[in-house]
Chain A
């Protein structure tokens, strides 16, 4: 494996790992906040128990989430010092704003965890609000940094250097609205489904009490609320890709030749040149979707220099995967709420519960796939159109070793997460001794 490939793969693994915890870090506080609110309002023990259990899962996930975030923040400059040196003055400032979002999230989370017995019930609940806002804000900011890498603006590019930075313009870059809305939506939807899936599985195993049904309900509420912004954001992101990154769009949609009134191809087998066989074609579909005009011209890969093209095959399949899963999620949300309003028997049966159970892991798969589209689709550029990934890699000979060591560490971290989650959630009766705060034991 070349060093470049090792570096890229390491970045991909690190971020692919982090995004799972980051998405849960955005979504779980919202779920806890909802369950805790209803519990307090109605003085309802079951809702409180749900909030508590979600919190305990969250405490484990945060430990690993924070560690994976710290790894990335160090790794970015170790692997891509040239990128940091050049782009630092532009992206460093929003990222330092993000640091504050993290800090507040972490501090208020600690206040929530350790303040249970020391704050009034509503003040205790209120400490969750900064946790929710901090998570969403950090996701928004870091994705705006990523969208700047996709559509870099706000500077004069002179001899490979970014002069006269205009930070406001850089943060509000063209790809920002679509990507941020879509990512934040994705985090909420995926967390909602993850929670719903856990309880759907419990119900499929025969435990169908009030507690399980409420766990399912709170997850599906969050998912239902955010699936619309997710869809709007995805559509917007797609149109913005068409405007700003034609190479990525051509790879996503498998468009070998420039076409007026391009069809949308669904499924099929795509080759390296973007040619798709056996797909279903919807006439004018792509032009309509990507430009809102049936006669719009969509640029094909042929117009892009060979060594400026992204790898078409992974981008295309990842994009298709995301779309299929997206539609499945819409089906699951619709099915659940139809069942709640009109068809209560669906919830007794297995089909709907199985769908929801599958939707949990699948929604995280969609997030990973979406990032493959974004990141692999940007290749060979690290900053689209300006700097190549290959120009940015560190010259250190340690990259290969680093890749191996960190891959092992991620395996270890995954194992630890699973062990800790299982023990944290299975030991419910021993709560007093084993509480999320070792404090509670002696207070």
Chain B
């Protein structure tokens, strides 16, 4: 039962990492675009994508935390104690970024330039903070209740940072390009982002190799696991990403973004697979961290009912706001007044 609950909680985390990762990447591209002549178009496409979805995306973090609370309270407490600094940093950046977004979207124009910079910089920093925090549980640097400061300068952490950054840039570029393409938001933005997505995707390859090397050299447990069949999900994820890149090369945007998302998802799930049975290596295993059975059962039942409904509603939302325009306008009966 705890394994089922763990899977669900981890799915929440992986979805958060992907969706919010892409959102942080949006900030990166907005920042990047301000050095180019195409700034206006790219920004429009980027915020057109970001606007309707970021709030829902952010809630996956709450889903994950609350899942830990219900099903793995000791893990939540352990991580809260060990990672308080990193999580606080990311949280502060997240708040700053949201305020900047509120000003950009709802505030008067004279604040927009400052807000744009703030949005970009805080996005990148929040992503980095979370990237740091995310590798800590598998690093072996959490000992007792605390994070060994050696972690910050370990090869593992230092290779994870560029990986996180590039991964979110990659995801963001793919989805914004797909969005801009589907919505006919300008060929210029689409093409610009497509190129960037290809570059970022290509850069992921050496970064992944470096990260894997440091993982294997620094974490004994992973070294023992990585040669087993347990790496299969990760390998499958990598293959999906490669296929997605191929689709992107051929300008098949929808399948490219699906494949690339699926690939990263499989990679993240595969990470948990490699770590099994540990949640926080070497301090806590899944069964040590689990809540009493009554709570696990309730959590599973609630999630079994709620998650499918949630996903259906999300698909409806994404379809309406991000999908191709034409399909929508056919269904449109009469335009609302006002």
A residues neighboring B (CB under 8 Å): 45, 48-49, 52, 59-60, 62-64, 66-67, 69-71, 73-75, 77-78, 81-82, 84-93, 95-100, 102-104, 106-108, 110-111, 113-121, 124, 163-167, 394-396, 398, 402, 405, 409, 412-413, 416-417, 419-421, 423-424, 427, 437-439, 442-443
Q: How many Å from the CB of A3 to the closest CB on chain B? A: 13
Q: In angstroms, how far is the closest chain A Cβ from the Cβ of B325?
A: 7
Q: Give the CA-CA distance A167 to B302 in the complex, in Å.
A: 12
Q: Which residue of A lies closest to B301 (CB)?
A: A93
With contacts A99-B59, A120-B334, A409-B92 taken as known, whether A64 is within 8 angstroms of B74 at the C-beta atoms is no
B residues within 8 Å of A by Cβ?
44, 47-48, 51-53, 55-56, 58-59, 61-63, 65-71, 73-74, 76-78, 80-81, 84-85, 87-88, 91-92, 94-96, 98-99, 101-103, 105-108, 111, 145, 185, 291-292, 294-295, 298-299, 302-303, 306, 309-310, 313-314, 316-317, 320-321, 325, 328-329, 331-338
- A429 vs chain B, min Cβ distance (A): 14
The contact of B55 among A93, A106, A394, A443, by CB within 8 Å, is A106
The reply to whether B295 and A93 contact each other, CB–CB distance below 8 Å, is yes
Q: What number of A-B contacts does a CB cutoff of 8 Å give?
A: 240
- Besides the known contacts A87-B73, A419-B108, A438-B47, 17 further A-B residue pairs in the complex with CB atoms under 8 A apart: A85-B73, A88-B68, A89-B294, A92-B68, A96-B299, A100-B302, A100-B309, A104-B310, A107-B317, A110-B52, A110-B53, A111-B320, A118-B329, A165-B294, A416-B99, A416-B102, A443-B325
Question: Which of B73, B294, B310 touches A167 (beta carbons < 8 Å)?
Answer: B294
Partner of A100, one of B71, B106, B185, B306: B306
Q: Within 8 Å CB of B59, what residues of A?
A: 66, 70, 99, 102-103, 106
B69 with A84: CB separation less than 8 A:
yes
Contact, CB under 8 Å: A70 / B299: no
Chain A residues, Cβ within 8 Å of B47:
438
CB distance from B113 to the nearest CB of A (A): 15
Verify B295–A89 contact, CB threshold 8 A.
yes
Of all chain B residues, the one with the shortest Cβ separation from A398 is B84
Given contacts A88-B76, A102-B59, A120-B333, contact A114 B69 (CB under 8 A): no
Q: A111-B317, A398-B88 are in contact. Are A90 and B77 (CB under 8 A)?
A: no
Q: Which 5 A-B pairs have the closest CB atoms?
A: A88-B73, A92-B70, A92-B69, A85-B77, A89-B291
Name A437's closest neighbour in chain B (CB-CB): B51
**Candidates A48, A63, A73, A107; contact of B56 at CB < 8 Å:** A107
> With a CB–CB cut-off of 8 A, which chain A residues contact B51?
437-439
Contacts of A45 in B (CB 8 A): 337-338
Chain B residue at minimal CB-CB distance from A90: B295
How far in angstroms is the closest Cβ of chain B from A438? 6
Contact yes or no, A67 B80, CB < 8 A = no
User: Is there an interface contact between A413 and B81, defined as CB atoms closer than 8 Å?
Assistant: no
B69 touches A69 (CB 8 A): no
Q: List 10 A-B contacts (CB under 8 A).
A: A73-B66, A84-B80, A88-B76, A89-B291, A102-B59, A116-B338, A120-B334, A121-B334, A412-B99, A413-B95
Q: A88-B291, A104-B310 are in contact. Are A48 and B337 (CB under 8 A)?
A: yes
Name the contact of B320 in the complex, choosing from A89, A115, A121, A413 (C-beta under 8 A): A115
CA distance A52 to B333 in the complex (A): 21
- Which residue of B88, B101, B107, B185 contacts A78 across the interface (Cβ within 8 Å)? B88
Judge whether A70 and B58 touch: CB under 8 Å.
yes
Q: Decide: B106 and A424 in contact? CB cutoff 8 A.
A: yes
Q: Chain B residues near A89 (CB, 8 Å)?
A: 70-71, 73, 291-292, 294-295
Tell me if A396 and B335 are in contact (CB < 8 A).
no
**Which of these, A63, A166, A402, contacts B101 with CB under 8 Å?**
A63
| Cβ–Cβ < 8 Å partners of B107 in chain A | 416, 419-420, 423
Collect the chain B residues with CB atoms within 8 Å of residue A52's CB.
338
Q: Which residues of B contact A75 (CB under 8 A)?
A: 91
- Select one of B80, B105, B292 contacting A81, CB under 8 A: B80
CA distance A71 to B95 in the complex (A): 8
In the complex, the answer to whether B73 meets A439 with C-beta atoms within 8 Å is no
Q: Are A77 and B61 in contact (CB under 8 A)?
A: no
Q: Which residues of B contact A48 (CB under 8 A)?
A: 337-338
Partner of B66, one of A62, A99, A110: A99
On whether A439 and B294 interact (CB within 8 A), knowing A89-B73, A102-B59, A117-B336, the answer reads no
A114 and B52 contact, CB distance less than 8 A:
yes
With beta carbons under 8 angstroms apart, the residue of A99, A119, A121, A394 that contacts B62 is A99
- The smallest beta-carbon distance between B83 and chain A, in angstroms, is 9
Q: Give the distance in Å from the alpha carbon of A442 to the alpha carbon of B40 in the complex.
A: 14
Question: What's the minimum C-beta distance from A73 to chain B, rounded to whole angstroms?
Answer: 5
Give the shortest distance, in Å, between B338 (CB) and chain A (any CB).
5
* Contact between chains at A100 and B69 (CB < 8 Å): no
